């Protein structure tokens, strides 16, 4: 829920969350509307593989690293590429370690 609040605060959209693994280490964020699409024009043919919205993946990965969670964040679907929705896949690479601080 915190993730949905952050998306609403910073991007003005609320993603739906879809768990895609039984282990609970993978899930997807599905955006019906991608706010970054408004700032991108049609890509030239020689730049068709460029993914402008990868900045979102970097922000999510960086935020997770700040709380010591290693994750792989990738685009699974992108409205700019003609898909119906924007879908970002997140896979946690390892579980959070319990740290005990000495006093």
User: What does the domain layout of the chain look like in residue ranges?
Assistant: 1-36+48-92
pLDDT of the residue at 76: 92
Structure tokens at 33: 């509307």
**Confidence at residue 78, expressed as pLDDT on a 0 to 100 scale:** 85
The pLDDT value recorded for residue 99 is 53
The pLDDT tens digits for 1-26 are 677 888 888 888 899 988 877 777 89
Which superfamily is assigned to 1-36+48-92 in CATH? Trafficking protein particle complex subunit 3 (3.30.1380.20)
Q: Which residues contact 82 (CB under 8 A, 6 or more apart)?
A: none
Q: How confident is the model at residue 52 (pLDDT cuts 50, 70, 90)?
A: confident
């Amino acid at each position: 829920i915190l993730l949905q609040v952050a998306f609403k605060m910073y991007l003005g959209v609320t993603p739906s969350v879809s768990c895609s693994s039984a282990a609970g280490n993978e899930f997807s964020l599905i955006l019906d509307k991608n706010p970054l699409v408004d700032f991108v024009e049609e890509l030239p043919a020689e730049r068709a593989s460029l993914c402008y919205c990868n900045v979102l993946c970097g922000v999510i990965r960086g935020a997770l690293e700040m709380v010591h969670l290693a994750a792989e964040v990738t685009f699974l679907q992108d409205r700019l590429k003609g898909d119906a929705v924007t879908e970002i896949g997140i896979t946690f690479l390892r579980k959070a370690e319990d740290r005990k601080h000495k006093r």
